[in-house]
Amino acid sequence: DVVRSVQPADMVCSYVRQSHALGLGHAVLCAEALVGDEPFAVLLADDLMRGVPGGPGVLQQMAQVHAQHGGSILAVQEVPLDQVNRYGIVSPRTIAAGVHQVEGLIEKPAPDKAPSNLAVIGRYVLPPEIFPILRKTTPGKNGEIQLTDALRELARKFPMYALEIQGQRYDA
Ligand code: G1P
């Protein structure tokens, strides 16, 4: 019953396997044929999110910013400086309350190399233009094909925004 409640009868589920553990960027690339030529969302299942009770969910908040500004939307949260080395960290230029244009990103920087303490948490709204970039992305941090590296390239060519989400994140 719980599964039925989160999967309405008219929803179609398809899946694709990432047969080698080559990193998050590679995992997203594996979904290219399913996604096709349209914007899509990436939800990292080990980041659980809950919007503010009674308010919009996190993905809905991101969809609203996407409807307003277009481009890519990354969910971010402030983290203590001694934890920036666990996350993708954005270089932000603030354009509205809680909304920042992303001028750069770096995966898991040391605190003294971090451009801010705004950490990417596991929700992304991305355009299909990420796929050709991912195909050319070489292994980065920890020898993995990093989504963050491809996003940095994407941000050079297309608008990208970081949204400080309203709600709670539970890191599994
Ligand atoms: C991944 C991403 C990282 C992001 C994080 C959010 O890292 O590579 O940029 O900040 O998810 O949870 P992982 O936690 O898989 O090492």
Q: What is the pLDDT of residues 29-51, one digit of tens each?
A: 999 999 999 999 999 999 999 99
Strand ranges for the chain from DSSP E: 40-43, 47-51, 72-78, 88-96, 99-107, 118-126, 160-164, 167-171
Residue whose CA is at the smallest distance from ligand 1 atom 7:
87
Asked if the model's pLDDT at residue 150 lies above 90, the reply is yes
Q: How many residues does the chain have?
A: 172
Q: From the CA of 82, how far away is ligand 1's center (Å)?
A: 16
* Residue percentage of the chain with pLDDT more than 70: 98
What pLDDT, on a 0 to 100 scale, did the predictor assign at position 3?
Answer: 67
* Sign, Cα dihedral of 130, 135, 138, 140: positive
Q: Which has more confidence, 6 or 73? A: 73
Q: What percent of the chain has pLDDT over 90?
A: 91
- Spell out which residues line ligand 1, taking CB within 6 angstroms: 24, 44, 47, 87-88, 107, 119-122, 147-148
- Helix H segments across 41-146? 58-69, 130-136
pTM of the entire predicted model: 0.94
Ligand 1 center from residue 122 Cα (angstroms): 7
Closest ligand 1 atom to Cα of 46: 12
pLDDT in tens, 90-149: 999 999 999 999 999 999 999 999 999 999 999 999 999 999 999 999 999 999 999 999
Rounded mean pLDDT, 76-80? 97
| Statement: residue 81 has pLDDT above 70 | yes
pLDDT for res 1: 72
Q: 96 - beta bridge partners?
A: 99
Using pLDDT thresholds of 50, 70 and 90, give the confidence band for residue 5.
Answer: confident
